[in-house]
Amino acid sequence: MTFLVTGGAGFIGSHLVGELVKRGDRVVIFDRVAPPTINYIRNVVVVQGDIRDIFEILDVIKRYDVKIIIHLASLLIPESQENPFKAFKINCEGALNIFEVARIVDKKVKRVIYASSGAVYGPAEYYGNKPVNEDAPIRPLNVYGMCKAFVEWMGGHYYNSYKLDNIGLRFALVYGPGRIRGATAFVNELIVNPALGKPAKVPYGAQKFNWLYIKDAVKAILLACEVERTRHRVFNIGGDIRTVYEVAEYVKRLIPNAVIECEPGALGWQMEFDITRAKEELGYMPTYTIERGVRETINIIRAQMGLPSLET
């Protein structure tokens, strides 16, 4: 089966492509940047393209007989906030192009999976500081969240009007090796800097985050690809809930000489998810606690730099 992964050169995309290749699937990466480290891998085709060009996407789907589209291409929070027009073109129009192309080819594409975000939710106090499920009112606080809310609505429209099978995954804070961009890229400094003997200075010390390790995020995507059918179209995908302070303290336990400064502040939106729907309909359960994910991230980074792994 051939999968099209838009944004396949990015953080989540590159990890996902690796898993698909391990399974023996054929993958077409569609990204504005060609990942040179993937070009030589068997069963992977890299197409440099613009998600805003619907005809280019249509050509790729027809040329490679794509059966499942995994849409991850997106302008992230800081860039979206700085340039709302560009965010609309890439995040909203880009996703709309994916839905429309999948409709045009008329059932040749079996399903579209797309990345949504917990950024569609409002501040925690709006929900009584309790975990939210997918039926909670959405109240985006930034341009990125507004774009994701639009994409979810259009996914529902294409399902209801054209029976286009699509599933949206509201990811929490996805972390792991390779995370270097976005509003939550501070996690890279929090974990990677101490792993390499460098000091770290990070924001949001007291805020609770939903820490979703990259391998659990990829697992959720694969489950969404494989499930026969679902009653709902959108799912919360979360992991372990901890404050930044708590994660920093764990890093210090692993690396006693680590220098980590946690500053105050809040990212804003609700990060405590109820993932009951994903458990029941996708069979999703996170397998990585924050301890396991942080330790694995540190050891991968240290191995890449030729440093010894942490003792177990």
Listed in order, strand segments (DSSP E) in 62-101 are: 68-71
Closest CA relative to residue 219, chosen from 176, 269, 189: 176
Residue found under tokens 């975000």? 117
Judge contact between 290 and 244, C-beta under 8 A: no
- Residues ≥6 apart with Cβ < 8 Å to 106: none
- Residues ≥6 apart with Cβ < 8 Å to 196: 301, 302, 305, 307
| DSSP code string of 136-205 | SPP---SHHHHHHHHHHHHHHHHHHHH---EEEEEE-EEESTT--SSTTTHHHHHHHHHHTT--EEES-T
Q: Please say if 127 is a catalytic residue.
A: no
Q: How far apart are CA 20 and CA 26, in angstroms?
A: 8
Residue found under tokens 């396949």? 8
Burial code of 35-44, b = ≥16 C-beta within 10 A, e = fewer? beebeeeeeb
The catalytically annotated residue of 127, 144, 158, 204 is 144
Tokens of 15: 């990890």
User: Which residues are catalytically annotated?
Assistant: 144
